[in-house]
Amino acid sequence: MRILMITNLFYPRLGGSEQVVFESSRRLALRGHEVHVLTERMQPEWPLYEQVESIHIHRCPVRFGNPVVRFGSGVLQAARLFKHLIAEYDFDVLHFHLTLTAIGVLLCRESKRVDRIASFYGPWDEEELVEKEVTDTWQPHHIKAAIFRFLQRYVLQHSARTIILSDYSLTQVHHLMETTESCVKIPGGVDLNRFHPAPDRNEVKKRLDLPCNQPVLLTLRRLVPRMGVDTLIEAMPHLLDRKPDLILVVGSDGPLRLTLESRVETLGIRDHIRFTGFISYEDLPLYYQAADLFVMPTKALEGFGLPTIESMACGTPTLGTDIGSNT
């Protein structure tokens, strides 16, 4: 089959949903399917087209600025790129992953002649409110969230099947749709050729310039309020009272980074916290292998928690909050 994956976030930055799309695409390509990905060019140095692991990646340029410009550009550029691709390739399946680019594709009448499925990773509207820490019911974010809810529901309603990763995700879809009969649960998985225990944990620590004689905690969470990294950092002084040589590696990036770094300075624990920024696809297994404990501090809406099973596959125990699919 010739399959088109549609998502606004993709390689080379691979968060949870992006990792699922990447691995699904790679495995389908290994089975002999022709897999294309329509996505956005998030960085100007990224090529508009490249082939990675037999996956054909097509990127549309988008304009970043105020939310209206960002949204309009994302939708229109996705529609434009889709029209170009559908004229060149006879796709058998369109697989929607994230809503923004999916809307652009669904605006094109050419999409109606192709079978469509969707993957659901979380409620876009609720994530918006939680990540913006909205409490006032009349804030503009509620209008934005209502639009997100309408658009995500529209994508699911125009897909023959909806793939979910967990039972918790099924309850979230139920809040969007009158019926969940179209939902199919396919849990996320781990590539055991990449994620496996290291023969010597200390050797991996040396490679990553981490101390061999100190316990290392690892968290891989986007730096937004919902992910709970701020709570973990606030807990560090109490942990250091019991374990003074503890190190916490924060392996991601996001809008809260400067705030969190400032808080680390205020708490006087700078020598115990390391912010790595985004960890590359190649280095990700090494960090799991080097850690003595992986921490999943999510505050809300944990749809699956791919890092949990990746960490366990590397032989590293995991501690998570009792939230969503973590339960």
Tens of pLDDT along 110-151? Answer: 999 999 999 999 887 777 777 766 445 556 777 888 888 999
Task: Compute CA distances 292 → 15, 214, 233, whole Å.
Answer: 22, 9, 17
Query: What pTM, to 2 d.p., does this model score?
Result: 0.87
Same domain, yes or no: 205 and 169: no
Q: Which of 103, 79, 83, 97 is nearest to 37 (CA)?
A: 97
Domain-terminating residue out of 185, 215, 237: 185
Same domain, yes or no: 152 and 294: no
Instruction: Kindly report, residue by residue over 47-92, the tens digit of the pLDDT.
Output: 999 999 999 999 999 888 777 788 888 899 999 999 999 999 999 9
> Is residue 190 in a domain?
no
> Is residue 194 in a domain?
no
Domain-terminating residue out of 132, 155, 185: 185
Same domain, yes or no: 39 and 120: yes
Task: Compute CA distances 89 → 4, 76, 86, 93, 105, whole Å.
Answer: 10, 20, 5, 11, 15
Same domain, yes or no: 19 and 82: yes
Same domain, yes or no: 98 and 226: no
> Is residue 172 in a domain?
yes
Same domain, yes or no: 168 and 206: no
pLDDT band at 154 (very low <50, low <70, confident <90, very high): very high
Domain-terminating residue out of 185, 215, 241: 185
> Is residue 220 in a domain?
yes
Domain that holds residue 300: 201-326
> Is residue 191 in a domain?
no
Same domain, yes or no: 137 and 271: no
Collapsing DSSP to helix, strand or coil, 77 comes out as helix
Number of Cβ within a 10 Å radius of residue 109: 8
> Is residue 192 in a domain?
no
> Is residue 310 in a domain?
yes
Same domain, yes or no: 216 and 165: no
Instruction: Kindly report, residue by residue over 192-232, the tens digit of the pLDDT.
Output: 999 999 999 999 999 999 999 999 999 998 888 888 999 99
CATH at 23:
3.40.50.2000
What amino acid occupies position 139?
Answer: Q
Same domain, yes or no: 178 and 218: no
Number of domains in the chain: 2
Same domain, yes or no: 72 and 117: yes
Same domain, yes or no: 159 and 239: no
